[in-house]
Chains A and B, each alone.
Chain A
Amino acid sequence: MRYESPTSTRDAVALLSKEKGSAHILAGGTDLLVKLKLDLFEPDLMVDIKRIPAMNEIKKTANGFKIGAAVSGAKLGENKALVKAWPGVVEATNLIGSDQIQSRCTMVGNLCNASPAADSVPALIAAGAKAIVVGKNKRRTVAVEDIVTGPGSTSLASSEIIEAITLPKRPPRSGDAYQRFIPRTEMDIAVVGVAISLTLKRGVIKKARVSLGAVAPTILLVPKAARAIIGTKLDDDALEKLASACSAACNPIDDKRGTVEYRTRIAGVLAKRVARIAYTRAGGS
């Protein structure tokens, strides 16, 4: 294996596109180095993106936030403006692993690792986040829900890099939240994860996005679940419809963490809790 640590996105893309063998991008390494250790694979070239200045920044822009691909979970949690605007995105990312992992792990790494149980991804999808993808001759902007195509696989070409994630500007009276179910209190992988982002007008939900994790091969955006609460004040009837829509969208596996039946049921239960938190954060009562 060779190791390179370029200082610009352009150089990183050039290294990837020139490579004849296998290449892999190294961000926080909290998934990648485990795979290396377990001898699951070893690329011919590893491209470390942490020395690229643009990838280490959290920028507040006219259109919202731009978060570099190498920004760690810990750094997200320290950014007060981001925590205020997108508490759900930050709390979801901060749930990944221990403090040791938080110092390294990144949202983009979590996304590109393409686990169905990734914690930050439902929150990003609910938020309407976009990935800025840089390739050899072009840049493109891709909705986060279109990046992952299946467990461990993405729609990115081998020479493409996600440079940053953008989060849209927040209208007033907006809130987001993420919760996951795990049998322990910490340090675990989601059995079910639910993220909801919504915007209110006079206490009525005007816009909403609902995303479910760990209940299907990829993380789901569930427009039907959003429609169940749009136009409501999140009354009991709306919450029940939200829960049913979430459970109906589930297509999970049976494994040691949870059965199909259990995951399907819990998705609805969690969705109700998460919707209440997002609603309260948006200033609803």
Chain B
Amino acid sequence: MSSVLVSTKINGDVVQFACPPDETLLDSLRNRAGLTGVKEGCGTGDCGACSITLDGQLVCSCLVLGVEAEGRDITTIEGMADGEKLHPLQTQFIENGALQCGICTPGFLVAAKVLLERNPKPTESEIRYALAGNLCRCTGYDKIVRAVQAAAKDMRKSRK
């Protein structure tokens, strides 16, 4: 199978990679662009560990082909912190102990960021529905929900 050259933008940088047409964007990001913050959980769109944004939309990168990224705009967990300065969600995940093994964490952070951009003051129920596509087998979710609530509060404060 011959590879296809793909030009795309990842976390603001123009990136080119060549991949076979049946390769998932998840594999292209991890193995060709070196972005291993994107995790593979199930590989079938159920767990959300590979969540990224594609043209601003939250997607599972395991359900997108690498070749589909041509000319698109991608953000991954690697683009979340501002240099050394963590995003409020990242800070609050640490503060609240919202992770244990950490495999689901990048996906939760990316999905939570999309939620807070659309809805700066989500209710607990809204957070739980918005994060229903992200599975965590360690925390029992409560600490994640609390971290998102705390980060939302921080972000609202800093906006004032």
Task: With both chains docked as a complex, state the minimum distance between the C-beta of B106 and any C-beta of chain A, in angstroms.
Answer: 13
**Contact partners of B21 in chain A: CB under 8 A:** 1-3, 46
5 contacts between A and B (CB under 8 A): A1-B22, A3-B22, A101-B63, A101-B133, A103-B58
> In chain B, residues 21-58, which have Cβ atoms closer than 8 Å to a Cβ of chain A?
21-22, 24, 43-46, 48, 51, 54, 57-58
**Contact partners of A72 in chain B: CB under 8 A:** 57
Count chain B residues whose beta carbon lies closer than 8 angstroms to a beta carbon of A.
32
B60 adjacent to chain A (CB < 8 Å): yes
Q: Is the CB of A1 within 8 A of B1?
A: yes
Q: Is the CB of A74 within 8 A of B57?
A: yes
**Contact partners of B133 in chain A: CB under 8 A:** 97-101, 187
Nearest residue (CB) in B for A3 is B21
A37 adjacent to chain B (CB < 8 Å): yes
Question: Assuming the A-B contacts A3-B21, A99-B133, are A33 and B48 also in contact, with contact meaning beta carbons closer than 8 angstroms in the complex?
Answer: no
> In chain A, residues 83-101, which have Cβ atoms closer than 8 Å to a Cβ of chain B?
97-101
A50 to B55, alpha carbons, bound, how many Å?
A: 13
B80 adjacent to chain A (CB < 8 Å): no
A34 adjacent to chain B (CB < 8 Å): yes
B64 adjacent to chain A (CB < 8 Å): yes
**Contact partners of A29 in chain B: CB under 8 A:** 63-65, 68
Partner pick for B44 among A5, A28, A37, A103, CB 8 A cutoff? A37
Partner pick for A34 among B45, B70, B111, CB 8 A cutoff? B45
Partner pick for B111 among A1, A5, A50, A100, CB 8 A cutoff? A100
**Contact partners of B20 in chain A: CB under 8 A:** 1
Question: Assuming the A-B contacts A30-B45, A38-B44, A186-B132, are A100 and B68 also in contact, with contact meaning beta carbons closer than 8 angstroms in the complex?
Answer: no
B130 adjacent to chain A (CB < 8 Å): yes
How would residues 65 to 105 of chain B score, 1 for a CB under 8 Å from any chain A CB and 0 otherwise?
Answer: 10110100000000000000000000000000000000000
Footprint of A on B, CB under 8 Å? 1, 4, 20-22, 24, 43-46, 48, 51, 54, 57-60, 62-65, 67-68, 70, 111, 114-115, 129-130, 132-134
Q: Is the CB of A33 within 8 A of B67?
A: no
Q: Is the CB of A34 within 8 A of B44?
A: yes
Going nearest first, the 5 A-B pairs with the smallest beta carbon separation are A98-B133, A3-B21, A103-B57, A100-B133, A100-B60
Task: With both chains docked as a complex, state the minimum distance between the C-beta of A239 and any C-beta of chain B, in angstroms.
Answer: 30
Q: Is the CB of B67 within 8 A of A3?
A: yes
**Contact partners of A98 in chain B: CB under 8 A:** 48, 132-134
**Contact partners of B115 in chain A: CB under 8 A:** 99
Task: With both chains docked as a complex, state the minimum distance between the C-beta of B35 and any C-beta of chain A, in angstroms.
Answer: 18
Q: Is the CB of A104 within 8 A of B4?
A: no
Q: Is the CB of A36 within 8 A of B57?
A: no
Nearest residue (CB) in A for B66 is A3
How would residues 32 to 68 of chain A score, 1 for a CB under 8 Å from any chain B CB and 0 otherwise?
Answer: 0110111000100010101000000000000000000
Question: Assuming the A-B contacts A29-B63, A36-B22, A46-B21, are A100 and B44 also in contact, with contact meaning beta carbons closer than 8 angstroms in the complex?
Answer: no
Partner pick for A3 among B44, B58, B62, B65, CB 8 A cutoff? B65
